[in-house]
């Protein structure tokens, strides 16, 4: 099967009725680029920059970060690269930052919350990103956004760093898209408000599912409640995509769900524009998409949205012959 998939490396991710989507890869470090290129990913949908900060005893410098971001955008040769600003906290700790011990780290001081307080760390990263932007198609994404104030504040700091670089006569791309992860229910529910102030959404289902069902994504004991196909998740994903499109923005997904065989036809039917997954899932997903029509996927999801449980949804996808 691998041989069949390999033929699709340079083929479009297009349905039989001519609807094209982007199949992108998630990466953690520039070392992952080999897998991205050999699997024919059309972009990077999520670069988790926290790994640059982990496994060491001090913050990475602006220069170190710049080199990492530049390497990735250059290797993608103009294809889109969505770089997420630091998403530390939750399960990912940085011993040298001396963060507070919390009862509920997943609900605590992490990601954009931390960056908006430790603006020294945030500004250094934004400078590195802005400098790297002139070497390719770099997009900036903020994680764990819960309120519009966070988006506005983050964008304001970004604009200030941009001005500063221009003053220093350093090249910065003119038109960097700025988007957010939609992974907190407040943002998913009010997506139409956020869509007016960002260039794109990327739905982070790993967190969105855990917060919506109140089921820790790391807990064995409640893993039966961690349900990607729960009617609530399908409805949220649908309305987030619609909210983006209503404002002429694009919507992607970079949680694990985006690469699942059962999810692909449903997400296609809901109109998802970009699917970002582990590099090894890109070719199987492309093969699957090329075997479908958008029309059939739309019919499938319409019926899925009438069902009451996750099991019924997954069963329907099978029953209708989509997997």
Give me the residues that bind Mg ion (CB under 5 A), please: 183, 204, 207
In whole angstroms, the minimum distance from the beta carbon of 233 to ligand PEP comes to 12
86 contacts ligand PEP (rule: CB under 6 A): no
Q: What is the largest CA-CA distance in the chain?
A: 61
Q: In the set 186, 206, 287, 293, which binds ligand PEP (CB under 6 A)?
A: 206
Give the one entry of ligand PEP, Mg ion, none that residue 217 binds, where binding means its C-beta sits below a cut-off of 5 to 8 angstroms depending on kind.
none
**249: partner contacted, choices ligand PEP, Mg ion, none (Cβ within 5-8 A by kind):** none
Cβ atoms of 226 and 207 closer than 8 Å = no
Spatial contact of 130 and 172, defined as CB atoms under 8 Å apart: yes
Whose Cβ is closer to ligand PEP: residue 278's or residue 287's? 278
Helices (H), the chain: 2-6, 33-38, 50-53, 62-75, 111-117, 119-132, 148-167, 185-189, 191-195, 205-212, 231-246, 263-270, 279-290, 294-304, 310-319
Token pair 């997903």 is at which residue? 285
| C-alpha to C-alpha distance for 180 and 199, rounded to whole angstroms | 8
Asked if 183 touches ligand PEP (CB under 6 A), the answer is: yes
Of 253 and 301, the one with the shorter C-beta distance to Mg ion is 253
Tell me if 48 contacts ligand PEP by CB under 6 A.
Answer: yes
Cβ nearer to Mg ion, comparing 199 with 207? 207
Q: Which is nearer to ligand PEP, 169 or 214 (CB)?
A: 214
**Nearest 10 degrees: CA dihedral of 252, 257, 261, 264?**
-30
Confirm or reject binding of residue 207 to ligand PEP (CB under 6 A): yes
Question: Does 254 contact ligand PEP by CB under 6 A?
Answer: yes
Q: How many residues bind ligand PEP (CB under 6 A)?
A: 10
Residue 117 backbone zone (phi > 0: left; psi -120 to 50: alpha; other: beta): alpha
Name the site residues for ligand PEP (rule: CB under 6 A). 46, 48, 87, 183, 204-207, 254-255
């Amino acid at each position: 099967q691998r041989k069949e998939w390999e033929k699709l490396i340079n083929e479009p991710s297009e349905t039989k009725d001519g609807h094209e989507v982007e199949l992108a890869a998630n990466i953690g470090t520039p070392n992952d680029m080999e897998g991205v290129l050999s699997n024919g990913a059309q972009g990077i949908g999520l670069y988790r920059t926290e790994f640059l900060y982990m496994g060491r005893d001090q913050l990475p410098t602006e220069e170190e970060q710049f080199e990492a971001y530049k390497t990735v955008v250059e290797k993608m040769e103009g294809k889109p690269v969505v770089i997420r600003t630091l998403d530390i906290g939750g399960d990912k700790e940085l011993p040298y930052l001396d963060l507070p011990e919390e009862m509920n780290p997943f609900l605590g001081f992490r990601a954009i919350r931390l960056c908006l307080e430790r603006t020294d760390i945030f500004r250094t990263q934004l400078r590195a990103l802005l400098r790297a932007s002139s070497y390719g198609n770099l997009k900036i994404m903020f994680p764990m956004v819960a309120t519009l104030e966070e988006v506005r504040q983050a964008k304001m700091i970004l604009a200030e760093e941009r001005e500063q670089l221009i003053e220093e006569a350093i090249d910065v791309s003119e038109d960097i898209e700025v988007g957010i992860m939609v992974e907190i229910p407040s943002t998913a529910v009010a997506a139409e408000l956020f869509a007016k102030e960002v260039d794109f959404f990327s739905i982070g289902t790993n967190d969105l599912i855990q917060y919506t069902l109140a089921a820790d994504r790391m807990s064995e004991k409640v893993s039966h409640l961690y349900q990607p196909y729960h009617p609530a998740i399908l409805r949220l994903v649908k309305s987030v995509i619609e909210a983006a499109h209503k404002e002429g923005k694009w919507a992607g997904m970079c949680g694990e769900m985006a690469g699942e065989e059962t999810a692909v036809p449903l997400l296609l039917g809901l109109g998802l524009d970009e699917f970002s997954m582990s590099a090894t899932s890109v070719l199987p997903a492309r093969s699957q998409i090329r075997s479908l029509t958008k029309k059939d996927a739309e019919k499938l999801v319409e019926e899925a949205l009438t069902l009451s449980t996750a099991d019924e949804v997954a069963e329907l996808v099978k029953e209708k012959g989509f997997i």
